[in-house]
Amino acid sequence: MKDALLLLSGGMDSGVLLAVSRPNYHHVICMGFDYGSKHSQRELAMAQRLASVYDASFVRIKLPFIDELFSSSLLRSGDDIPDGPYTDGSIASSVVPFRNGIMLSIGVGYAENNGIDTVLIASHAGDHPVYPDCSEAFTSAMSRAAGYGTFNHVSVSAPFSSIDKKDIAQKGRAAGFDFGLTWSCYKGLDIHCGTCATCLERKAALEYDKGLDPTRYMK
């Protein structure tokens, strides 16, 4: 069995990916990024705990330049996170330019340096079209570039690329995954706000209306 590197945000998608992928690898190195988002401390705490639960290593990477150079409501330097379902405007406001490209590049370099040939990312088919660096085409292109640009031909894999967030929730439940160990809310409060677009998506995926979502929300 080989090792793998997994980009672990601490959210439900990457958390489930860790849970279902862990048995397939001898060892998994989880990489979390502190890039100045409003919710980074909440997410990264969950990511580190998830890595421990699944007997994986955790590497924390600081990327302060993202908050300094880029504009996004997701970042501490940006505007307030809007409430309500995603609209074209609210989605666009939360985009961090080329975020996955930057993180995958670092992950691929780290993987090559440590003799690892697989990098896992939890991009899925439900990611909004406005996020071009979440698309299957983007991930495939990054994988080809990684293969060309590394001596050990590192590949980038997005096992959830053909399913959506609700499907991921079902996979997690089948694997006995504890969704209470994940964080989604972009506002970074003490508990999930329950009203921002990411909270609303989490509620829908985990079937909050049926009483199946274990998350504590403010509203």
Residue-wise pLDDT for 50-59, tens only, equals 999 999 999 9
In angstroms, the first-to-last Cα distance of the chain is 45
The answer, as to whether pTM is greater than 0.75, is yes
Q: Please answer whether residues 66 and 96 qualify as being in contact, where contact means their C-beta atoms are separated by less than 8 angstroms.
A: yes
Residue 86, classified by CB atoms within 10 Å of its CB into exposed (0-12), middle (13-18) or buried (19+), is: middle
Q: Which one has a higher pLDDT value, 148 or 85?
A: 148
* CATH 3.20.20.20 fits domain 3-210: no
Average pLDDT over residues 76-82: 93
* CA angle centred on 64, ends 180 and 9, rounded to 5°: 20
14-35 pLDDT, tens digit per residue, is 999 999 999 999 999 999 999 9
**What integer pLDDT is reported at residue 86 of this predicted model?**
77
